Structure 1
Amino acid sequence: MTHKRKICIVTGTRAEYGLLYWLMKEVSADADMHLQVVATGTHLSPEFGLTYQQIEADGFTIDAKVEMLLSSDSPIGITKSIGLGVIGFADTLQRLRPDILVLLGDRFEILAAAQAAMVARVPIAHISGGETTEGAFDEAIRHAVTKLAQWHFVAAEPYRKRVVQMGEAPERVFNSGAPGLDHLANLSWLDRSRLEKDMGITLGKPLFLVTYHPVTLSEASPVVAMNELLTALDQFPEATVIFTYPNADTGGRMLIDRINAWASLHPDRARAFVSLGHQHYLSLMREADVIIGNSSSGISEAPALRKATVNLGNRQKGRLKATSVIDAMETAADITDAIKKALSGEFRRNLANTVSLYGVGNASAKIKEILKTVPLRVLKSFFDIKHEY
C-alpha cells in the first residue's frame, strides 16, 4: 500500500485560516495526501468566537487542538502562551507524526509550532516568508520561522529574493503568490442584501470596513491610535462602519473595549464583529467603499478587488503596496484626509487600473503540487550569495 504523505496544517486565527482554506481543500482532495489539521490560539477562545467551529462547519476534521492562549495580552501573558504552545505542539507532533508541517505567516502561535517541529525533526513548509512589517514583532517571528523551515512559498518575487538573501537555497524557495487571493476565484459571494440580513444592519454609503491590530513594537498605547481613528470616523456621520476585532496581540483587549463603546454610540450605522468568516468578510470587502486599518488584507486582497485602502501607521511598513493603498499617519487629521482622498472621484476612477502585486489566485494548487514531491528532509545548507560591502 502506497504511503499517503501526511501534510499537517496549523491555524491559530480566523484570518490565517481564511488564507489556508483552499490549500486545505486541495490537500484533502488529493488521493496521495492525508490532511491533518491542528487548531490553536484564538480558534479555541470563547472571547474570540470559538472559530474552530467554523473549521468543522466547513467540513474539515480537526486532528488536534493545542490550548495555549492565556487570558492576558500583556507581554508576559503572550510569552507564557508561546511556552504553553511549544509544550502542546511537542505532544501533538509526537502523536500525529506528520511528514510536513505547514505554517503560514508570523504570529506567535506559529513560532511555538516551528520550535517544536525543529526539535522533533519535522520538515516545515513556510508560507508568506520574506515580507516585512516593521511596526510589529511579527517581523522577527516571520524571519525566525524562515530559518527554521525547509521549504518556502512566498507571495511575490522581491520576497523570494529576500528569503534567498537570508541563506535559503533558491531551489527551496517558490514564488507561489498569496493563497488568500484564491478566494477571489472560488468564493460563493454574498450580495449586499444577504449581508444586511446576516449582519443585522443596513449597509449605507459610504461603507467602511475597519480592522485595526495593535502595533506591537510601538512604545505608545494602541488606544491612542484607536482614539485618533475613531475621531476621524466621527467626521463621516453618513458612513456605515463595520469593525472586525483585532487579534490576540499585546493590547488587543483595550482596542476591543474602545471599538464596542464607539459602536454602541452609533447603533444605527455601526457594528462590531468578533469574526465574520472569510465568506462574509470578503463579500463585505467587495461591497465596501474604503478598507481602513492596518490589516494585511488591505494590502493583499483589497487591491485584487480594486478597492481603496487607507493603511494606518507602521504595522505594514515595508510591504509591497498597490496604487489603491493610501498610507496615513495615526492622527485624526491625516486619517480624515486619507479617507476623503479614497472617496474622491479621481481616486475612485483610477481604482479600475489597480494591479495586484501578490499573484493571480492559484497559489494553493501550486503549493499542494510541490508539497507532494519535495524531499522529506530537515537537513539544509546555508546558501551564501556574493556580497558587496
Structure 2
Amino acid sequence: MKKKIFFLTAKRGGYDAMKPLLKLIISKKKYELKIVITDQHLNKKFGETSKMVKKDFKNIISINSKQLSGANKDRNKSMSIIMNKLSYILDKQKPNLFLIYGDRCESLISAISCLNFAIPIAHFQGGDISGNIDEKFRHALTKLSDYHFVSNQLSLRRLIQMGESKKKIFLVGDNHIDSLKKVRPYKFKELQEKYNLFYEKRPIVFLMHPEKFSQQKNKENSFKVLNLLSKLGRDIICIYPCTDIGYEGIINSLNKFKNKKFFHIFPNIPYKDFISFIKLSLFMIGNSSSGIIESSYLKTKVINLGNRQKGRLHNNNVFHSDFNIGNISSIIKKLTKKTRPIKIKKNIYGNGDAYKKTYKIIDSIMRKKEIHIHKKFNLIKL
C-alpha cells in the first residue's frame, strides 16, 4: 500500500504556487496524493475555484466551511467547521505527511488537527514576515510543524532564532516562482480581445486584501484608491480579495465601480491571465503578496499599500505607501514618467526550481520507517 501525502488548499494563490510540486508527486507514482479543498475555493462569490482544482487533479476531498460573511464571528465559526470535518477525515485516512502552505487561519486549524493525530507536518513559507494578523498564524504554524521549506535566507535565519532544528529547515525558494516560470504570458492584443479592453495603453492591476481594521476602514481605503485610479484614463483590472476578516468592505467598494466604463472586476481570473496582466500592466497596486514575489520576476512596478506586506523581503520594483491619496498620487506620477523597465538586481526568491528540490526532500522523509514528530527547542548563542 502506498504512503499518503495530504495537501490542504483554501485559496487560489497558495494552490497555484504548489501545483508544480503536486503534479510532480503524482507523476512519480510513489505516493498517494490527496488534496483537501475548503474555504474560498468552494465559495461561489469568489469564483468557485474548486472547479479549477478538480480539473487539474483527482482524489479531491471537499470541506465546505460555510462562511457567511467577513465578520469575526462568522470567520471563527467557519474555522470550527473545518476542524470538525478535517478531524473526521484524518481519523479515517491517516496520512503519513500533511503539507501546509503559508499563513492562513485555516492552515493553522489544519496543523492543530494534525497534531492531535500525531501526523507529521511540512510547512511552506515559514519565517516570512508581514504586517497583518496572518504573521501570528505563520509563526504558530512554524512551532507546530516538523519540516520547513523556506523561500529565502532571512526566513531560514528567523526559524533558527525560533528554536527550530537546522536539520529540518530547507532553503528551496518560493513556490510561486515555480508556477510563474511554467507560464507563457499572453500578448497585449490577446488580452485586449479576451477582456474587451478599451484602451491601447497598458492597464493597471488592482488587488487589495483586508487590513486588520474594520469593514468600514477597508471600504473607505479601497474606495479612495479606486476613485484615484478612475481618473488615470486606463483600463483597471480588479480582482476580489481573499476571505479574510473585512473582505466585504472591499467588495462593496468594487461594486460601486462595476458599471464604470474602464473597470473590469472579477471574483477570480485564470492564473495565466493574472500573470499576463501583471506583466503587461503599467503598474500593480494593492497589498497582495503577488506584488512582492511574482512582480519582480515579471519586472513590473508595484505600489504596495498599507501594512499587510510590511517587512516582507522585496525587490527594487516595489514602492511603499500608506493610504494617503496625496502620497499615492506622487508615486503614480513618478512611475508614469519613468517608462524604462525596472532592472532587477537579484532573484531573491529563487530560480523556479523549488518544487524539484522539495520533492527530493519529501521523498527522503517518506522513505523513513518512522517520521518522528517530537521536537526540542534549539537554543542559539546570544
Q: Report the TM-score range of the alignment, normalised by the length of the smaller protein.
A: over 0.9
Which residue of 2 is the match for residue 104 of structure 1? 101
Which residue of 1 is the match for residue 160 of structure 2? 164
Q: 1:310 corresponds to which letter in structure 2?
A: I
Which residue of 1 is the match for residue 362 of structure 2? 371
Which residue of 1 is the match for residue 81 of structure 2? 84
The reply to whether residue 150 of structure 1 matches residue 124 of structure 2 is no
CA distance in 2, matches of 1:263, 1:29: 43
Deviations 1:35-59, CA, capped at 9 Å, x for gaps: 111101111111111111001222x
CA distance in 2, matches of 1:97, 1:190: 42
CA distance in 1, matches of 2:45, 2:14: 17
Shift of residue 335 of structure 1?
1.3
Partner SS, residue 62 of structure 2:
strand
Q: Is the 8 A contact 2:299 2:341 kept in 1?
A: no
Shift of residue 342 of structure 1?
2.1
Shift of residue 304 of structure 1?
1.0
Shift of residue 185 of structure 1?
2.1
The reply to whether residue 381 of structure 1 matches residue 376 of structure 2 is yes
- Deviation larger for 186-195 or 138-147: 186-195
CA distance in 2, matches of 1:71, 1:155: 34
- Alignment RMSD (CA, Å): 1.7
Shift of residue 187 of structure 1?
1.5
Which residue of 2 is the match for residue 74 of structure 1? 71
Shift in alpha-carbon separation, 1:75–1:181, aligned structure 2, 3 A: same
**Structure 2 unmatched ranges of 5 or more:** none
Which residue of 2 is the match for residue 251 of structure 1? 246
Shift in alpha-carbon separation, 1:351–1:223, aligned structure 2, 3 A: same
Shift of residue 366 of structure 1?
1.1
Shift of residue 197 of structure 1?
3.2
Which residue of 2 is the match for residue 320 of structure 1? 313
CA distance in 1, matches of 2:341, 2:257: 32
Which residue of 1 is the match for residue 170 of structure 2? 174
Q: Is the 8 A contact 2:219 2:252 kept in 1?
A: no
CA distance in 2, matches of 1:91, 1:63: 15
CA distance in 2, matches of 1:219, 1:53: 29
CA distance in 1, matches of 2:234, 2:314: 25
Shift in alpha-carbon separation, 1:170–1:226, aligned structure 2, 3 A: same
Which residue of 2 is the match for residue 290 of structure 1? 283
Match of 1:123 among 113, 120, 125: 120
Shift of residue 33 of structure 1?
2.2
Match of 1:27 among 25, 35, 59: 25
The total of aligned residue pairs comes to 378
Q: Is the 8 A contact 2:7 2:34 kept in 1?
A: yes
CA distance in 1, matches of 2:185, 2:380: 45
Q: 2:377 corresponds to which letter in structure 1?
A: F
Q: Is the 8 A contact 2:39 2:67 kept in 1?
A: no
Which residue of 2 is the match for residue 361 of structure 1? 352
CA distance in 2, matches of 1:74, 1:108: 14
Q: Is the 8 A contact 2:219 2:249 kept in 1?
A: yes
The reply to whether residue 207 of structure 1 matches residue 208 of structure 2 is no
Partner SS, residue 350 of structure 2:
coil
Match of 1:279 among 272, 296, 301: 272
Shift of residue 354 of structure 1?
4.3
TM-score using structure 1 length: 0.93
Partner SS, residue 106 of structure 2:
helix
Q: 1:317 corresponds to which letter in structure 2?
A: K
Partner SS, residue 112 of structure 1:
helix
Shift of residue 103 of structure 1?
0.6
Shift in alpha-carbon separation, 1:366–1:6, aligned structure 2, 3 A: same
The reply to whether residue 242 of structure 1 matches residue 240 of structure 2 is no
Q: 1:160 corresponds to which letter in structure 2?
A: L
Deviations 1:325-346, CA, capped at 9 Å, x for gaps: 000111111111122222222x
Partner SS, residue 262 of structure 1:
coil
Partner SS, residue 100 of structure 2:
strand
TM-score using structure 2 length: 0.95
CA distance in 2, matches of 1:244, 1:219: 18
CA distance in 1, matches of 2:303, 2:222: 14
Deviations 1:235-256, CA, capped at 9 Å, x for gaps: 31x1110001000111111211
CA distance in 1, matches of 2:376, 2:199: 54
CA distance in 1, matches of 2:111, 2:18: 17
Shift in alpha-carbon separation, 1:97–1:363, aligned structure 2, 3 A: same
Partner SS, residue 343 of structure 2:
helix
Q: Is the 8 A contact 2:214 2:246 kept in 1?
A: no
Q: 2:290 corresponds to which letter in structure 1?
A: S
CA distance in 2, matches of 1:188, 1:226: 31
Q: Is the 8 A contact 1:18 1:277 kept in 2?
A: no
- Deviation larger for 316-325 or 69-78: 69-78
